[in-house]
A and B are shown apart, each in its own frame.
Chain A
Amino acid sequence: MTSLRVGAVLVLALVVLALLAPVLAPYPPHLQIDLTNLRSAPPSFAHPLGTDPYSRDLLSRILYGARVSLAIAGLAIVLAVILGGTVGILAGWMGGVTDVVLMRTVDAALAIPRLFVVLVVLALWERVTVPAMVVILGGTGWFGISRLVRAEVQSARERGWVAAARAAGVPAPRIVLRHVLPNIAGPIIVAATMGLGQVVLLEAGLSYLGVGVPQPTPSWGSIIADGQFVLRTAPWVVASASLALVTTVLAFTLLGDGLRARLDPRAP
């Protein structure tokens, strides 16, 4: 209960901060204020979180970074739920050969560590835009969801109310959309919320490796990468972006935990 409340408040606060970034940020996020005198400056009144090694205001970059991070994560999860839901419904409802082919493909896809899948996809892209990142992260994030949906659809298919709907002559697509989906929405929402945190982590990891959304677009991962070489002399660069990152993932995890306790009847 408390984790639901804390998670929801944190997520809401982050979304508001991200939306208000243009109002709240004291400087444009790309602006290199004074390359000779103001590199990796400590926090001050003019720069509440200090500046990065390229003389950019950290608070502004972190606020704008929240927009990038949350937008990519949110859209990628929507895509993953759509893909995973479709595949899971097809496999669970049709059964037979369709099921075997789809699920064995998912098994193989799950055997590749996700970061490696993403790296393979990125290997031949010259420049990754935000929409491309959404497609890549969403397109590699649906395997687990499809398994979950398949299992839920399979068990729902055997229930009396589905048999009743069938006997009444309701067409299959309508049964799935109107009768099965609403009944399995809980576990899907929980998985999607947990997934949001994981996508934020993954996106940050890619930017940290320098293969995420390219500079100068502010991303928390690339702020950390910029700051790691001044870790000793200007720890606030890595610290502030890390704190933003951990808080965001924590918010989604807590929200997911809380939602699970609420929505998933089998949760302990």
Chain B
Amino acid sequence: MGTDLIRFVVGRLLQGVLVVLGVATIVFLLLHAAPGDPLTVLNDAPQIAPEALARVRQTYGLDRPLPEQYVRYVGQLARGNLGISLTQHRPVADALAAAIPNTVLLALAALLLDFGLGIAIGVVQGRHGGTRRDHVLSLVTVTLYSTPVFVLGLLLLGVFGEALHWFPLGGAIDPIRHAGLGLAGRVADRARHLVLPALSLGLVAAAYTARHQRSAMLEVLQQDFIRAARARGLGERVVLLRHALRNALTPTLTLAGLALPVLLSGSVLVETVFGWPGMGRLAAEAIGRRDYPMVTAAAILAAVLVVLGNLLADLATRIADPRLRSIR
């Protein structure tokens, strides 16, 4: 299995590079499909001479033909040069490097909640399919699934932050006390700040996962091998968890690949609600100020995270389902 796995990972990484190149191309085309260029807003500015604008366009190569600009752009990207932020006056890469760990932390916490809670609810519903309990849980998940993450965020913030004071109102750390705390204190401080944003993002995602897990369980529980397992006199718990769940897990794990783009989209909103210093909030702030190098870099990096996440999801699926190990 060793070399097989390495070949699989290398192959998928190469595919991933192609996907990211595709993403960069799409982003480039989208930017150039918009009317004008980044300097168009200045065309009518009386204090800037047209010659000066032309000079700036020349410096940044904005006057060159599109294919040439494209080659230059991809070349810079390949070297890790994401450009200079128009509002932060520092390299986009620096700003994003500081923000990404926070977003990854938030996304991982949400992902854990997503699959932990989602699968658990789905299994309970599948076990008690058609009963009152199933219907009530279905109503809860369909309502949560229909709730925008920023609405849930504001609700949690209003109740548990502003009214009950159980959790802080925003940010990733306590700006005053954090530096003075010991290691355990710092971890606890981070965790306290993480709870509400992770719940906002994770609960909505868990509702979606639960809906899928429920139908996967109901489907698997009708199969012959389940009847056979029951006929052999195996306990309900063993049948449910060892036989049914393991088989119903594969379609859900495939969802993990789809869950990541949704979580990252949601993180833009949740990070804005909670002032969480991640790349989502960076992108949201950048868009308000037309800082397009920042926005495009965030989009491309989000795609890189999605590609990596997909790879991990595929690996997890292969481990969970031995039948898939021969497939590349």
Cross-chain contact A250 with B296 (CB below 8 angstroms): no
Given the known inter-chain contacts A209-B269, A235-B158, please indicate yes or no for A124 contacting B292, CB distance below 8 A: yes
Interface string of A101-139 (1 = CB under 8 A from B): 000110111111111110111111110000000000000
Q: Which residues from A are CB-within-8-Å of B151?
A: 224, 238, 242, 245-246
Given the known inter-chain contacts A108-B22, A113-B264, A120-B295, please indicate yes or no for A208 contacting B162, CB distance below 8 A: no
Nearest A residue (CB) for B298: A116
Q: Which residues from A are CB-within-8-Å of B283?
A: 116, 119
A204 to B146, CA, bound (A): 12
Cross-chain contact A246 with B146 (CB below 8 angstroms): yes
Asked whether B26 is an interface residue with its Cβ less than 8 Å from the other chain, the reply is: yes
Which bracket fits the contact residues of B?
35 or more
Q: Which residues of A1-38 have CB atoms within 8 Å of chain B's CB atoms?
A: 3
Q: Which residues from B are CB-within-8-Å of A115?
A: 264-266, 268-269
Interface string of B1-42 (1 = CB under 8 A from A): 000000000000000001110110111001100111110010
Cross-chain contact B292 with A268 (CB below 8 angstroms): no
Q: Which residues from B are CB-within-8-Å of A125?
A: 34-35
Interface string of A209-250 (1 = CB under 8 A from B): 111000000000000100010011001001000100110011
Asked whether A145 is an interface residue with its Cβ less than 8 Å from the other chain, the reply is: no
Nearest B residue (CB) for A209: B284
Minimal beta-carbon separation of B143 from chain A (angstroms): 6
Most buried by A among B151, B157, B310: B151
Given the known inter-chain contacts A108-B22, A113-B306, please indicate yes or no for A124 contacting B27, CB distance below 8 A: no
**Size of interface on A: residues with Cβ below 8 Å to B:** 46
Q: Which residues from A are CB-within-8-Å of B302?
A: 112-113, 116
Interface string of A46-77 (1 = CB under 8 A from B): 00000000000000000000000000000000
Asked whether B61 is an interface residue with its Cβ less than 8 Å from the other chain, the reply is: no
Given the known inter-chain contacts A112-B299, A113-B261, please indicate yes or no for A121 contacting B146, CB distance below 8 A: no
Asked whether B154 is an interface residue with its Cβ less than 8 Å from the other chain, the reply is: yes
Asked whether B185 is an interface residue with its Cβ less than 8 Å from the other chain, the reply is: no
Given the known inter-chain contacts A124-B38, A124-B290, A245-B151, please indicate yes or no for A250 contacting B265, CB distance below 8 A: no
Q: Which residues from A are CB-within-8-Å of B38?
A: 124
Asked whether A195 is an interface residue with its Cβ less than 8 Å from the other chain, the reply is: no
Q: Which residues from B are CB-within-8-Å of A110?
A: 261
Most buried by A among B27, B157, B291: B27
Q: Which residues from B are CB-within-8-Å of A123?
A: 31, 34, 286-287, 290-292, 295-296
A254 to B219, CA, bound (A): 21
Cross-chain contact B269 with A105 (CB below 8 angstroms): no
Cross-chain contact B142 with A232 (CB below 8 angstroms): no
Cross-chain contact A231 with B295 (CB below 8 angstroms): no
Cross-chain contact B303 with A205 (CB below 8 angstroms): no
A120 to B72, CA, bound (A): 19
Minimal beta-carbon separation of A240 from chain B (angstroms): 12
Minimal beta-carbon separation of B17 from chain A (angstroms): 11
A208 to B162, CA, bound (A): 20
Asked whether B238 is an interface residue with its Cβ less than 8 Å from the other chain, the reply is: no
Asked whether A152 is an interface residue with its Cβ less than 8 Å from the other chain, the reply is: no
Pick from B30, B150, B284: contact of A224, CB below 8 A: B150
Asked whether B218 is an interface residue with its Cβ less than 8 Å from the other chain, the reply is: yes
Q: Which residues of B251-280 have CB atoms within 8 Å of chain A's CB atoms?
A: 260-262, 264-266, 268-269, 272-273
Asked whether A253 is an interface residue with its Cβ less than 8 Å from the other chain, the reply is: yes
Asked whether A85 is an interface residue with its Cβ less than 8 Å from the other chain, the reply is: no
Minimal beta-carbon separation of A254 from chain B (angstroms): 7
Q: Which residues from A are CB-within-8-Å of B250?
A: none
Cross-chain contact A108 with B23 (CB below 8 angstroms): yes
Given the known inter-chain contacts A112-B306, A120-B295, please indicate yes or no for A211 contacting B23, CB distance below 8 A: no
Cross-chain contact A246 with B143 (CB below 8 angstroms): yes
Pick from A126, A209, A250: contact of B268, CB below 8 A: A209
Nearest B residue (CB) for A268: B215
Pick from B288, B292, B299: contact of A116, CB below 8 A: B299
A111 to B261, CA, bound (A): 7
Cross-chain contact A254 with B299 (CB below 8 angstroms): no
A250 to B140, CA, bound (A): 11
Minimal beta-carbon separation of A52 from chain B (angstroms): 15
Asked whether B53 is an interface residue with its Cβ less than 8 Å from the other chain, the reply is: no
Q: Which residues from B are CB-within-8-Å of A245?
A: 148, 151
Q: Which residues from A are CB-within-8-Å of B150?
A: 205, 208, 224
Minimal beta-carbon separation of B256 from chain A (angstroms): 14
Minimal beta-carbon separation of B22 from chain A (angstroms): 3
Cross-chain contact B31 with A228 (CB below 8 angstroms): no
Residues of A at the B interface (CB closer than 8 Å) are: 3, 104-105, 107-117, 119-126, 197, 201, 204-205, 208-211, 224, 228, 231-232, 235, 238, 242, 245-246, 249-250, 252-254, 257, 268
Sort A-B residue pairs by CB-CB distance and give the 7 closest, nearest first. Answer: A108-B22, A124-B34, A115-B265, A249-B146, A116-B299, A250-B146, A113-B261
Q: List 9 A-B contacts (CB under 8 A).
A: A111-B20, A113-B262, A119-B299, A124-B290, A211-B287, A231-B154, A238-B158, A242-B154, A242-B155
